[in-house]
Structure formats: C-alpha cells, structure tokens
Amino acid sequence: MSVSEMFAALQGALGQDQDIREEIRKEVQALEQTAREILTLLQGVHQGPGFQHIPKKCQKAREHFGTVRTQMESLKTKFPADQYYRFHEHWRFVLQRLVFLAAFVVYLESETLVTREAVAEILGIEADRERGFHLDIEDYLSGVLTLASELARLAVNSVTAGDYSRPLRISTFINELDSGFRLLNLKNDSLRKRYDGLKYDVKKIEEVVYDLSIRGLNKEATVGAGGEK
C-alpha cells in the first residue's frame, strides 16, 4: 500500500468518526432541550404559589422524562455499543443535568435520595456498565451534588413562602448527604471540586435554620412538621 493509499484510508476512518460525532451531537442537543424544559418547569417550585403545585409539577416532569427515554434510545444507536467511553464526553454534561432533575423530582415527591438504579430507570438507561449505555457513578454523584445546591436555594425560598418546616427537613437531608460523601475517597478532580462546594450548601442551610431559631419560628415549624409537606 502506498503512502497516499494509507492516508486515504485514514481519512476514511476519520470521516466515519466525524459522522458519528455529528449524529451524537444532534441527539445530545435534543436531550439538552428536554432538560431545559424540565428545569423551567421545576423552577416554579421556588416561587410562593409553586409550593402548592409541587405534585402537579412533578407529574408533568415525569411525562417529560418519557421523552428523555425515547431520546436516549435514539442516542444509543448512534455509536458502537463497545465505545461508550470513547464518546462519553459528548453527553456527560446533559446526563449529569438529567440526573439532577430526576433526583430533584424524587426529592420533591418523597424527600428521599434517589438511587443510581432508580435514576437509570427514569432515564431509560442501564445501571451496570456491562449492559451497555449506562449511568456512570461519577455522573450520578455530580447530579446529586447539583441537587444539594438546588435544595439550599429551596430552603431560603421556603422561608419567604412561609414554609418554616421545610428548611429543617432539608437541613437534615443535606447533612445526611454530606456524611455519605465523606465516606467516599474521591479521586476525580472535577468531582472533588464539586464536592468541596457542598460545605457551602450546608453552611447556607444552617444559616437559614439558625435564623428561624433566633426568630422563634423553628418551634412553629416543629409543631407543624406533622402536617402537609
């Protein structure tokens, strides 16, 4: 084979690779659009009247996740099944965003932390690497850390809306989350930096709870804690 033929073959391989990346990019753009729609929907909970409509917003978000599952099925067909990590960077960001959104919906519904397996099911992908297109552990953890920041914001807005018990529950949840992350030996630099931000979320929520305490509103919150969330 001549040099020209060798480089012609290489160009052919590069062209095929570029075609794959372009197809992936289109699918990721569709996922990003759906993620924006879900985020816009859920942002309504931060406004006063939004607290009264949490169940409806979560139900609508669940319907959007049906679109996500369809888009994920399409994305899976755009690259060889054994080359997940070769193209992973293309969808890493949107996948982390979708993990956060799924975790936020589950928290709003039950005030619990969604498992990685449950998120994978919501998104229509696998939890185990061996089964193909899956939810990477680091992507799951990144999404959970974004949830912590969102809940810190929700704690502040809950007080504004007159819901004094929610910040106390959020504080308990975030402290449990922080304790869980402390059990991990994080090697990934990006994930480690994201985790370092969790302490600021903990501090922010603690300030909200302290403010409720000095104003005597924590007693009112404790009395009403057995009522509707």
Which residues lie below 8 Å from residue 113, measured CB to CB, with a gap of 6+? 103, 106, 107, 144, 173, 176, 177
Q: Tell me if 150 is assigned to a ligand binding site.
A: yes
Dmax over CA atoms of the chain, in Å, equals 84
For CA atoms 211, 213, 216, 222, give the dihedral sign. Answer: positive
CA distance 196 to 223: 34
List residues bridging with 134 in a β-sheet. Answer: 126
Token digits of residue 229: 């969330």
CA atoms within 13 A on the CB side of 43: 6
DSSP 96-136: HHHHHHHHHHHHHHHSSPPPHHHHHHHHT-BSSGGGSSB--
Q: How many CA atoms lie within 13 A of 151 on its CB side?
A: 35
Task: Give the residue numbers of the binding site.
Answer: 150
Task: Give the residue numbers of the binding site for Mg(2+).
Answer: 150
